[in-house]
Amino acid sequence: MTDLVTFGETMLRFSPPGNERLETTTELEVRAAGAESNVAVAAARLGAEAVWISKLPDSPLGRRVTSELESYGLETDVVRSDEGRQGTYYLEFAGEPRGTNVIYDRADAAVTTASAEELPAERIRSAEWFYTSGITPALSETLRETTETLLWSARDSGTKTAFDLNYRSKLWSPEEARETLTNLFEHVDVLVTAVRDAREILGLSGDPESIGRELVDEHDFETVIVTLGSEGALAIHDGRTIEQSAFETETHDPIGTGDAFVGGYLARRIRGADVEEALEVGAATAALKRTIPGDIAVITPEEVERVIREGGEGISR
């Protein structure tokens, strides 16, 4: 049995070196980047048997995605298509007041036409966990149907489901997101949401604990995890509130931090750990990710344990 299957789009990320502008740079760094594959890689690096499924163009760029993901130890199982393109995004880093900017170029990507019938859904039905995020149904009407079908099929087969709200304002409006995502909640066991998304998208108010408890009560989730940025995260599970502070970290690239957190959390839950321990591993994985360029947490179990034990300071000799 596979431990974890994830489904979603993975793009190619192009970014100039340093704080160079896109309009003046003569170089672009290329990396694979996608929420669901980010989660799967983090979990795989921590010992889970993880598989990422998707649909990609049968092209050099599509093959670039899978070759990079597989180099991190992740298994990929994708449908290759002669139609559609490889989605990309451009990332321009900068401090204030300019700010970091993301420019998507993902229209008509092959994944937007992926149906449940053509994907290896049997891998989801035989897995212990299935994960996807709110980014996926934001990409097309087809993917809204596919996401719901896969979540329903997973739950119907006894596979636990985890879902991250992952709202992206450049993909859809809060109103569109609320209508679509709340319709998926009946198929979700574990919900992850940033506190800001819970307020802006779901219209909830109050402190993070109140928000988490309201979500559990209204939708009967097994677990709700509310992430709080630099303040850490909390979980509502089995009637209890479990808090986890963030580990100190020197940030070099924050993109993918939330995905690393989820990947670390799921990897430890897969191993049978309780929610407290899994949150701690998630927080340590997230802290490590912020030191690593790119979207992906290329980490080891030993590094995660060292962060938990020592805070991750010092030089490894």
Active-site pick, 197, 259, 274, 295: 259
Contacts of 199 (CB under 8 A, 6+ apart): 205, 211
Q: Where are the domains of the chain?
A: 4-9+34-83+112-310
Residue 95: predicted pLDDT: 86
Confidence class of residue 316 from pLDDT cuts 50, 70 and 90? very low
Residue 1: predicted pLDDT: 80
The string of pLDDT tens digits covering residues 108-159 is 999 999 999 999 999 999 999 999 999 999 999 999 999 999 999 999 999 9
Active site residue 105: no
Tell the residue number behind the tokens 């559990």, with chain if given: 216
Q: In the numeric block, which tokens belong to residue 13? A: 């990320």
Q: Is the pLDDT of residue 223 over 50?
A: yes
Q: Is the pLDDT of residue 300 over 90?
A: yes
Distance CA 13, CA 58 (A): 18
Q: Is the pLDDT of residue 315 over 60?
A: no
Distance CA 60, CA 83 (A): 14
Share of the chain above pLDDT 90, in %: 96
Flag whether the pTM goes above 0.85.
yes
Homologous superfamily (CATH) of 4-9+34-83+112-310 is Ribokinase (3.40.1190.20)
